[in-house]
Amino acid sequence: MACVTMDRTSGATALRRRVSTLLYRRSTFFLMLLLAPPLLWLGIIYLGSLLALLIQSFFYIDEFTGQIVYEFSLRTYAELISSRANLDIILRTMSMAAAVTVAAATIGFPIAYYMARHATGRTKAFFYLAVMLPLWSSYLVRVYAWKLLLAKEGVISWAFANAHLGWLLDGVLALPVIGGPSLSVSYIGMFLVFTYIWLPFMILPIQAALERVPASLIEASGDLGARPNETFRKIILPLALPGVAAGSIFTFSLTLGDYIIPYVIGSSRFFIGQAVYIHQGTAGNVPMAAAFSVVPIVIIAIYLTIAKKLGAFDAL
């Protein structure tokens, strides 16, 4: 009896050993085994749905019946780019995304630089916390909070009025296109909120890129005769550029796709996100919504190609 039990355990041990030997010797097989679930997830759930979206955009809606016609056609895209209103939406969204990206990079770079190269210990921890903290609270709460701040009776107008600078605010709001009756219903207000909301996504990648630049490279540049501003332009900036590119992809694409901020802040003029929302919901024109969704993907692809051509990823 004892003998049998022993045999069984040793049999199990032997099997286990054989499996582990197999996994060890066929390391590719083992790797595939580990990678299969996440790859399937990425492939089916993520890329698959993206592909479905892409396919949808090649169907079109029958004008009389309002039914989706499931056959390949470029009709939806033709309709997308032939409509003046649609092109305005795309242009408006792109301009906003570009402005927000430039502003976020301009504000974010010095902060990231200070965090990476000067701050140590508690100061650094404080900066991390200050950058991350807003991300822990609800996005909607922050957007609505900004709506109150920016409102005509809000604290910003109040501060301007009390500083006897009300004329300045009114002057800015009187500007065509970007102005409006108050900050909370103008492109300026929307720009401020977008910049505030997406800033951490710019700071963190730049900070990570700067953190990876060894101090000796900066010393070597100075040692070879480069003044600090040259060292910044020739060494620090090129090496931080992949971080700026990564950050700008975040801010740019997040702005391109967002539909809540244009809905809460700003006027009734549509952004891409809102157009997608309206087309697939109220209008039931899923092919058009899909075609609109493809626009940011194309824009980002073009942007990345240009960035690569300009050497933004040379330091990777």
Partner 1 sequence: MTIAVKFENVSRHFDSVRAVDGVSLEIADGEFFSMLGPSGSGKTTCLRLIAGFETPTSGLISIHGADVSGVPPYDRDINTVFQDYALFPHMSVLDNVAYGLMVRKVAKAERHRRAEEMLDLVKLAGLGGRRPAELSGGQRQRVALARALINHPRVLLLDEPLGALDLKLREQMQVELKGLQRKIGITFVYVTHDQQEALGMSDRLAVFNEGKIEQVGSPQEIYEHPATEFVAGFVGNSNLVDVTSAERIAGVTGALSIRPEKIHFASDFIGPPDAVRAGGVVHEVQYLGAATRYEVVLDAGPVLFVIRQNIATAGRHGGPGVGERIELAWERDAMQSLKSVAAGD
Contact positions vs partner 1 (CB under 8 A): 214, 216-217, 219-227, 230, 234-235, 238-239, 311, 314-315
Q: Considering the complex, what minimum distance in angstroms separates the CB of residue 218 from partner 1?
A: 9
Q: Is the Cβ–Cβ distance between 198 and 250 less than 8 Å? A: yes
In whole angstroms, give the CA distance from residue 163 to residue 195.
25
φ, ψ dihedrals at 61, nearest 5°: -105, 135
Give the residue with the Cβ less far from partner 1, 18 or 233: 233
**Would you give the DSSP letter of residue 12?**
H
If one counts every other C-beta atom within 10 angstroms of the C-beta of residue 316, the result is 10
In this complex, which beta carbon is closest to partner 1, that of residue 177 or of residue 224? 224
Compute the least distance from the CB of residue 250 to partner 1, in Å: 22
* Residue 251 Cβ vs partner 1, minimum distance, rounded to whole Å: 24
Strand partners, 68: 61
**DSSP string computed for 118-142:** T--HHHHHHHHHHHHHHHHS-HHHH
Nearer to partner 1, 215 or 298 (CB): 215
In whole angstroms, the minimum distance from the beta carbon of 316 to partner 1 comes to 9
Helix axes 121-136, 84-117, angle to 10 degrees: 160
Largest CA distance in the chain: 99
As measured in angstroms, the least distance from the Cβ of 241 to partner 1 is 9
> Looking at beta carbons only, is 120 or 162 nearer to partner 1?
120
Q: Which is nearer to partner 1, 216 or 268 (CB)?
A: 216
